[in-house]
Structure 1
Amino acid sequence: MSDSPEIFDAIIIGTGQAGPSLAGRLTQAGMTVAIIERHQVGGTCVNVGCTPTKALVANAYAAHLTARAADYGVMLPGPARIDMARVSARVAEISGKSRTGLEGWLGGMQGCTLIRGHARLESPRTVRVGDRLLRANKIFLNVGGRALAPKEIGGLAEVPYLTNTNMVAMTEVPGHLIVIGGSYVGLEFAQVFRRLGAQVTVVERGQHLIAR
């Protein structure tokens, strides 16, 4: 374990939506930057958030239009079938291209060093990643988020359940999907899987959907 720190002008922990753009602005200003990622470059948005969910929305919209083809005077030989494995593969391909593009951008960015690993703050100016010790006067946290499974839902820990992370990778359409929570994210998934052929029930404990 090295005690001699590598010196940078700035350290960014996390390559989510803000991280690469911030690295770009800082390096353009002549600063040296270390950007650290412990999992997949692109963070939540690229890998389990905006990019894959919007790709799923597009697939579901195509299924919806196909089901209504006769309304537009387009006559098909029979009802459409959903190949969820191909839907999932398309979603993964789109996310993968975005991730590869970000990796290429960061890798070719002059003055930027992409470091893979788990970052730990050791002092107000130092960060450790494995055996490497990094030092900078500016440290930015861009660590994203993960799905919260509410502990107050009785029995949740005893049953398998889905979150946004594994829903975007499903290879089968569920026969019946129960969505707990009527927020915009829950309703987006509800519409997607209804259009793909699942029966869907939305459970919301508040008086209104999309309460906030």
Structure 2
Amino acid sequence: MSDRVDVAVLGAGHAGLNAIKEIRRVTDRYRLINGGSLGTTCARVGCMPSKVAIHLGELYAMRKQFQRYGIDGGESLRIDETSALEHLRDLRDTFVDLVLANTTDEMEEELVDGYARFIDPHTIEVGNRTIRARAFVIATGASSVVPTEWRHAFGDAILTAEDLFELERLPKSIAVIGLGPIGVELGQALQRLGVEVVGIDSGTTLARLEDPVINQAAVEILQRDFPLWLGEPARIERADAGAGVRVRAGDRERVVEKLLVAIGRRANLAHLGLDRIGCPVDARGVPLFDARTLQIGQHPIFIAGDATDGIANLQIAAEQGRIAGYNACHEEHRHYARRTPMAIVFSDPNIASVGVPWSELDQSQVVLGQQRFGPVGRALILGQNRGLLHLYAHRRTGVVLGGAMIGPRCEHLAHLLAWGVQQRLTVDEMLQMPFYHPVIEEALQDCLHGLARKIE
């Protein structure tokens, strides 16, 4: 069977679906090829179900604070694992259904089930089907990395973000290997849901934090929830009599029931056969592409979302999908405009980084502001006043460059800061913005006041 269309999109995640929206404005001669389950990474195994788990963990953890507010009986509360996990999956299915309702559910012959492989720059195979297109968009996403030797030796004990939410019961104990954003979020959520957790990372930073001051604060705060073994690689072996897995890092060891491997994600590109059609690739097998147009070399092929091997982010994936979809249909290409970098980790307290990374700051031209959340009135009321805010500004001009933070509701502070950095506001200009009382945002205001006194 052979099809001829204008554009074919590989992958039905957020990048692919947003590409389709742009393509439909121009032509109805398109195909969307998707292998595996429908539903975006975010809705099915990523952002949304993980946030449900985090919220469940936070609700259950609140029982430990009841007594300080004069509420008795918190110690008698128990979590019903079966009901909690069923609720998580119900919400997960709702998110997936919402995504599919206005996209793939409306498709008939336009949706092709299977995995694509390039034959030439204008032709792919999907099973026994051939599809020829004027242009392609690659939006095949990414998957969790698990070392092959671990998968072979400990397959039944290994979990990843892709399969964690399918569990019918929670393990009694787990080692989280890799403490990037996914490992930190899920490790803390599991601990708060009653799992005995140990977190392990060969590096010394949490959640990709570059700012050493905020990273140290994050380590001090999060290790109150579960042990953090940093600076040594994990070594694993079957425990005696096959009862779980023995995990070692340096001189520390523990036997756990399961391993949650969160050491990174890899773009799903290996099966596409890009090397066969002359696409130049890097050491990780990711094709070299124009960061503005998202075009791969001179080929009529564009790439978007997690398939680019960048940091996973739904908003970036969606915008790249729109750009790639538009450019696949038009001779005159649009450019992808990078916005102020912003990363948020939904741990408790939140961790966030905004703007110029610490490693790229010229320390001789920068002034730093610091504000603890301890005395912030709203944080004290909430009983969530642990944390620290760090801001960076240019020494002479006062332009705010970015910052990093760990603290309550920093998901909101990060947005305010990112908007200021995007508009190249100075410290004084940000201080002219309205602030209310009592709110967490006063921590940002106080930190800006401290910065203002340092501007030359």
Asked whether the two chains share a fold, i.e. TM above 0.5, the reply is yes
Bigger proportion of residues as strand: 2
- For residue 80 of structure 1, the aligned residue among 67, 74, 77 is 77
1:206 — aligned with what? 203
Which amino acid in structure 1 is aligned with residue 133 of structure 2? A
CA distance in 1, matches of 2:100, 2:116: 18
Matched, 1:182 2:218: no
Which residue pairs with 2:119 in the alignment?
122
* Counterpart in the other structure of 1:138: 135
Check whether the contact 1:37–1:118 (CA below 8 A) recurs between aligned residues: yes
Percentage of identical aligned residues = 23
| Contact 1:119-1:129 within 8 A present in 2 as well | yes
Query: Corresponding residue for 2:351?
Result: none
Instruction: Report 1:85-100 matches (<5 A).
Output: 85-100=82-97
Structure 1 residues 9 and 155: alpha-carbon distance in aligned structure 2, compared to 1, 3 A threshold: closer
Instruction: Indicate conservation of the 8 Å contact 1:13/1:141, yes or no.
Output: yes
Q: Which runs of 5+ in 1 are unaligned?
A: none
Could you report, residue by residue, the CA deviation over 1:13-62 in whole angstroms, capped at 9, with x for unpaired residues? Answer: 11112111110121023353211111122232222111211111111122
Tell whether the 8 Å contact from 1:84 to 1:172 is kept in structure 2 after alignment. yes
Contact 1:106 1:112 in 2 (8 A): no
Tell me how far 1:190 sits from its aligned partner.
1.1
Deviation at 1:121, TM superposition (A): 1.8
CA distance in 2, matches of 1:82, 1:93: 17
Partner Cα separation in structure 1 for residue 150 and residue 105 of structure 2: 49
Deviation digits for residues 91-136 of structure 1 (CA, Å, limit 9, x no counterpart): 2222222222333322465898122122222221112222332121
* Matched residue, 1:163: 160
- Aligned Cα RMSD in Å? 2.4
Rounded to whole Å, the distance in 2 between the matches of 1:24 and 1:143 is 17
One-letter identity of the residue aligned with 2:42: C
Give the distance between the partners of 1:103 and 1:71, measured in 2 at CA.
45
Rounded to whole Å, the distance in 2 between the matches of 1:18 and 1:137 is: 19
Match of 1:147 among 124, 144, 148: 144
What's the counterpart of residue 193 of structure 2?
Answer: 196
In structure 1, how many angstroms separate the alpha carbons of the residues matched to 2:132 and 2:18? Answer: 21
Task: Decide which moves more: 168-177 or 16-25.
Answer: 168-177
Per-residue CA deviations over 1:134-166 (Å, capped at 9, x if unaligned) read 121111111111111135xx7663222111122
Q: Which residue of 2 aligns with 1:33?
A: 30
Structure exhibiting the larger radius of gyration computed from Cα positions: 2
| Counterpart-to-counterpart distance in 2, 1:211 and 1:23 | 33
- The one-letter amino acid of 2:67's match is A
- Number of residue pairs matched by the alignment: 207
Output the CA distance in 2 between the equivalents of 1:26 and 1:10: 8
The 5-angstrom pairing of residues 60-79 of structure 1 reads 60-76=57-73, 79=76
Q: Which has the higher contact order (CA 8 A, sep 6+)?
A: 1
- Contact 2:123 2:130 (8 Å CA) reproduced: yes
Which consecutive residues of structure 2, in runs of 5 or more, have no partner in the other structure?
Answer: 210-456
The answer to whether the 8 A contact 2:171-2:195 is kept is yes
AA of the residue aligned to 1:158: A
Distance 1:184 1:120 in 2: 32
Q: Supply the AA of the counterpart residue of 2:79.
A: I
Q: In 1, distance between residues paired with 2:43 and 2:83?
A: 19
The 2-side partners of 1:185 and 1:149 are apart by 14
